[in-house]
Amino acid sequence: MDLLIERQNGWAQLTLNRPAQKNALNTALLGAVAAALSEMAADPAIRAVMVTGAGGHFAAGADIGEIEHKTAAEGSIDPRKTHWAAIRAFPKPLIAAVEGFALGGGFELALMADLMVLGPTARLGLPETNLGLIPGAGGGQRLMALAGRARAMRMVLMGEVIDARTAHDWGIASYLITDEAPAACPQFAAQIAAQISERAPLALMAAKAAVLAGEARSLALAEERQAFERLLDSADKSIGIAAFRARTKAEFTGK
């Protein structure tokens, strides 16, 4: 199964399970995450959810094959938009345990978490401009809110990938785990989820809703998504993806 679900006492763990693809978030996997969170939102026995990735990586972006031939018209009715909306709407505390790559859509998923725990191997980035695109699920906006305009521009415009220490120092993550044992990061995140599940659930949901409402007023999420959809029709998108597949340098034309 592409998504593993483990229910614990008061909380649940979701594990992205496409290790051969470094847990790339294809539409099916993203939909499974959204469905699981929607189910757990309605379950009073679940008070928090932790999401992590199998095989030493969180999620190395979206599935390039799904984007390669997608048009702007298709992007406007893409089911991924509904899946992302369901994840954003999850009302309970969401914790992301990030090891290895969290790139593109994978980083956007981690940025939707309320608490991000980074292991020492974590590498985070929004490299969509390398493909002639931009983040499509609000990642640029959330990154700016956490790290500031200068650092967000650096990562988005340059496609820069940063390490765990830098991400923590920039205020992107809540916790940095320096223990290099393979299970240290998810184990710590599991402890956080267990502790949160013992706290007052109504207060936690109210606190999350209030913080996110304030954040939403300053984020141009709709504008970022619309720009992403327009770029799906560009020649530069085709050039960027072809270069990525060929492992060559893209020669963009601005068309």
Beta pairing, strands 161-163 & 123-125: antiparallel
- Selected catalytic residue, list 99, 128, 224, 229: 128
Sheet of strand 3-7, all strands in order from the earlier edge strand to the far edge:
3-7, 11-16, 48-53, 94-98, 115-118, 175-176
What mean pLDDT is predicted for residues 55-66? 89
Categorize the per-residue pLDDT at 63 as very low, low, confident or very high, splitting at 50, 70 and 90: confident
Inter-residue contact 107 to 136 (CB < 8 Å): no
Q: What whole-number distance in Å separates Cα of residue 50 and Cα of residue 99?
A: 13
Q: Is 90 exceeded by the pLDDT of residue 103?
A: yes
User: Comparing C-alpha atoms, which of 1, 102, 113, 9 is closest to residue 51?
Assistant: 113
Catalytic residue among 6, 39, 74, 108: 108
Q: 144-177 b/e with 16+ CB inside 10 Å = b?
A: bbbbeeebbeebbeebebbebebbbebebbbbbb
If one compares 182 and 41, the residue with the highest pLDDT of the two is 41
Per-residue pLDDT at 97 exceeds 80: yes
What is the arithmetic mean of pLDDT over 152-172? 97
Are β-strands 115-118 and 175-176 bridged in parallel, bridged antiparallel, or unpaired?
parallel
pLDDT recorded at residue 74: 82
Span 93-114, mean pLDDT? Answer: 97
Span 104-116, average pLDDT = 97
Among 26-35, 53-62, 69-78, the minimum mean pLDDT is found in: 69-78
pTM of the model: 0.92
User: How confident is the model over 141-170, as a mean pLDDT?
Assistant: 96
**225: confidence class by pLDDT, cuts 50, 70, 90:** confident
Q: Name the band, by pLDDT with cuts 50, 70 and 90, for residue 208.
A: very high
Q: For residue 233, what pLDDT band results from cuts at 50, 70 and 90?
A: confident
User: Among this protein's residues, is 108 annotated catalytic?
Assistant: yes
Residues 6+ apart with CB under 8 A from 211: none
pLDDT reported for residue 191: 97
Residue 83 CA to chain centroid, in angstroms? Answer: 12
Domain ranges of the chain: 3-178
For tokens 């640029």, name the residue: 140
- Third-level CATH fold of 3-178: 2-enoyl-CoA Hydratase; Chain A, domain 1 (3.90.226)
Residue 84 has which token pair? Answer: 């992302």
* HSE-CB of 205 using CA atoms within 13 angstroms: 13
Instruction: Read off the pLDDT of residues 17-46 as tens digits, 9 standing for 90 and up.
Output: 999 999 999 999 999 999 999 999 999 999
- 15: confidence class by pLDDT, cuts 50, 70, 90: very high
Residue 128 bears catalytic tag: yes
Q: Is the pLDDT of residue 199 over 90?
A: yes
Of residues 114 and 222, more confidence is placed in 114
Q: How would you list the strands of the sheet with 161-163, edge to edge?
A: 59-60, 101-103, 123-125, 161-163
As a dihedral over the C-alpha atoms of residue 90, residue 60, residue 12, residue 30, rounded to 10 degrees, the angle is: 50
